[in-house]
Structure 1
Amino acid sequence: MPATSSILSLSTCWNSHRHTEGRALAQEAHELGFEWIEVSHGTKISLLPGLLEAVAAGEIQVSSLHNFCPPPVEVTMDAPDAYEFTSDKTWERERAISLTKKTLAMATRFGTDRVVIHLGSARIRSFTDKLEAMALAGQLYSRDYSDLKLKFVAQRQTASALAMDRVRAALDQLLPVCEAEGVRLGIETRSHYEQIPSQHEMLLLLEEYKDCPWVGSWHDFGHVQRQANLALLDHETYLSQISAHLIGCHVHDVAWPMKDHRAPLSTGGVALEKLMPLVPAGVPLIWELSPGNRREAVVEALNRWREKFPA
């Protein structure tokens, strides 16, 4: 992959549902102005042969795969968290590891050395949705909000150790496969506070695996902004702490406080002009957009992007 920060990639999560043939999916991305795509977790198995043909023909390049790809055949919906490395159920953890190994092998077939992974979640009750509802109702700095957030943080810290032990156990099984396939794992920043890793956990993992070439960070701008909007972290600080370890980014905007996966530079919810200079050159930027973004809006956003962030 060329060493430039201007490589833009479009996640297939935006248009895969509209296609029955993978080559047509790739063609649509190329027509929009993207030379790269990320094959996302919701991409149907039936689309993969056509996508592989498009890659082989030089019609598109693949920046990355998002776990799980191919998706589990027994799950009929797009569910990247259907199986978690942190589950209390041994069989579920084993299934998550098995599916991830298949994703690593598929990445090699697509000619990419990057796989984005979700690590799981702490085994606690989630209050993220409640906090978001309170923030939306104007209660962000109320006493009730502060009390609930502090309770959530305390429970989250208590549950961290067990979840992290399970994450390490999963990585121990995956890293030999990463080395055999020549594929790196990008640990994605998450949108919900109960999800792994938290900011502290990400830094801990990056330190523990600093000498491992197969583990890096994957910054999701929209996800981190959602937590920043709940006063759980500072976006600029977090990105600056992990930027040296970045192997990729998901780029999308947020309509305050939690409606993410909007076209970049469309809502102003993410301060991209301030944050993008923190991303090292050569790190691919994957536009991870919800299917609800209109084609015209994506084209407009892409034109604005190239004006603000020229190659």
Structure 2
Amino acid sequence: MGKDKGSYSFSTCWNIKRHQTGSGMINEIRELGFRYVELNYNVTDELLATIEPMIERGEIGVSSVHNTFPHVPDPDYGTDSVLLGFDDEAKRQRAIELVVRSAEHAHRYGAKAVVVHPGEVPFDYNIDQELKRLYNEQGPASAAYAALWSEMLERREALAATYLRRIGDSLEDICDRIEAKGWDVSIGIETRSRCYQMPTLSEAAVVFDRIQGARVGLWYDFGHGMMMERMGLYDNAGEMEAIKDRVVGIHIHETVGLSDHWCPYVHSGDMSYFDRFLPIIAAAPVKVYELKAACTPEEIERSHELLLGKLAAIGG
């Protein structure tokens, strides 16, 4: 049994593919010492049938749910979609309803937040995948990478304001509906893993400035932030000051190159880069580890101990 992890939570993305029952999945996470879980977007109604009794008995707490929740197999409302920025009004309204449905589950489980991938500037192919291939094969300083990057950035910058405005409209509507129902649930818009997806840190700041006082903030995913910084989209250390007070939750994981969801410090072997996120971790209301299946219980334990030691050193 791992040491008690206190208020830290752990995402079911780590072990969902290994389990046929929700209770088996949750018990494996409890074995790591976690008292709280984030129920991710692959959690189905079938898995919930054995998880909900555990929540009711107080055997596990739920920190957050990840939209779209419970699982919706339609990729239009999946994790890599235009979602809250759809041009098609019927699709946008359906996306809004699904986020509200996620919030209803969060409220029922006593969770504090819903993690939302709000949208993207659409491309007719996965330009991010091609950019990552060039990054890995030729390097970010190569002519091929630079040319495709500027092509991506030109389209992204030309269309971002339109999609951001629509995402803002959708979030306003969602927050109004949650408020009307009296649910104590925040919406966290997540920093993303593909360069054409939204928001960047500065885009998030634009949304928050627009919807003052609403229950919406940043869900800061550090691994994604590291990838986007390496690719050239934004600078975490330089830009986090503007949004640090609007963080409603975090995904704790690290990248090795452009591969994400590894244990901080342990898999990269870098004992300093991740330190820039420590003040955000200390202050975040909801703290969730989002690790891949390849991370072992021993590595998770070691990473958490290193993180706690570093937080103690800065008085966090």
Length-normalised TM-score, structure 1: 0.88
Deviation, 1:6, is 6.8
- Cα pair distance change 1:124/1:199, threshold 3 Å: farther
For residue 273 of structure 2, what is the amino acid of its counterpart? A
Q: Is the 8 A contact 1:26 1:59 kept in 2?
A: no
For residue 226 of structure 2, what is the amino acid of its counterpart? Q
Distance 2:146 2:104 in 1: 45
Distance 1:239 1:42 in 2: 30
Q: Is the 8 A contact 2:120 2:196 kept in 1?
A: yes
The residue number in structure 1 matching 2:276 is 274
Length-normalised TM-score, structure 2: 0.87
Q: 1:191 aligns with which of 171, 189, 193?
A: 193
For residue 283 of structure 2, what is the amino acid of its counterpart? A
The residue number in structure 2 matching 1:304 is 306
Deviates more, 1:187-196 or 1:229-238: 229-238
Matched, 1:130 2:134: no
Q: Which is helix-richer, 1 or 2? A: 2
For residue 186 of structure 1, what is the amino acid of its counterpart? G
**Aligned residue pairs, count:** 304
Distance 2:91 2:273 in 1: 38
For residue 23 of structure 1, what is the amino acid of its counterpart? S
Q: Is the 8 A contact 2:201 2:243 kept in 1?
A: no
The residue number in structure 2 matching 1:81 is 80
- Cα pair distance change 1:166/1:81, threshold 3 Å: same
The residue number in structure 1 matching 2:101 is 102
Query: Deviations 1:50-108 (Å, cap 9, x if unpaired)?
Result: 22221221211111111011112x449x9433671223333322221221111011001
For residue 300 of structure 1, what is the amino acid of its counterpart? R
Q: Is the 8 A contact 2:103 2:114 kept in 1?
A: yes
Distance 1:21 1:140 in 2: 43
Q: Is the 8 A contact 2:223 2:261 kept in 1?
A: yes
Distance 1:46 1:305 in 2: 35
Q: Is the 8 A contact 1:104 1:177 kept in 2?
A: no
The residue number in structure 2 matching 1:248 is 249
For residue 115 of structure 1, what is the amino acid of its counterpart? V
Q: Is the 8 A contact 2:26 2:51 kept in 1?
A: yes
Query: Deviations 1:129-159 (Å, cap 9, x if unpaired)?
Result: 2222222124312333323222221111111
CA RMSD of aligned residues (A): 2.5
Distance 1:24 1:138 in 2: 44
The residue number in structure 2 matching 1:41 is 41
Deviation, 1:30, is 1.5
The residue number in structure 2 matching 1:144 is 144
Deviates more, 1:269-278 or 1:154-163: 269-278
Deviation, 1:169, is 2.6
Query: Deviations 1:163-193 (Å, cap 9, x if unpaired)?
Result: 1232123123211222122211001111112
The residue number in structure 2 matching 1:156 is 156
Query: Deviations 1:202-249 (Å, cap 9, x if unpaired)?
Result: 11012112322x111110001111111112221212333211111100
Q: Is the 8 A contact 1:20 1:46 kept in 2?
A: no
Deviation, 1:251, is 0.8
Q: Is the 8 A contact 1:7 1:285 kept in 2?
A: yes
Aligned residue for 1:13, secondary structure, equals helix
Q: What runs of 5+ residues in structure 1 fail to find an aligned partner? A: none
For residue 25 of structure 1, what is the amino acid of its counterpart? M
Q: Is the 8 A contact 1:13 1:290 kept in 2?
A: yes
Q: What runs of 5+ residues in structure 2 fail to find an aligned partner? A: none
* Identical pairs, percent: 27
Aligned residue for 2:84, secondary structure, equals coil
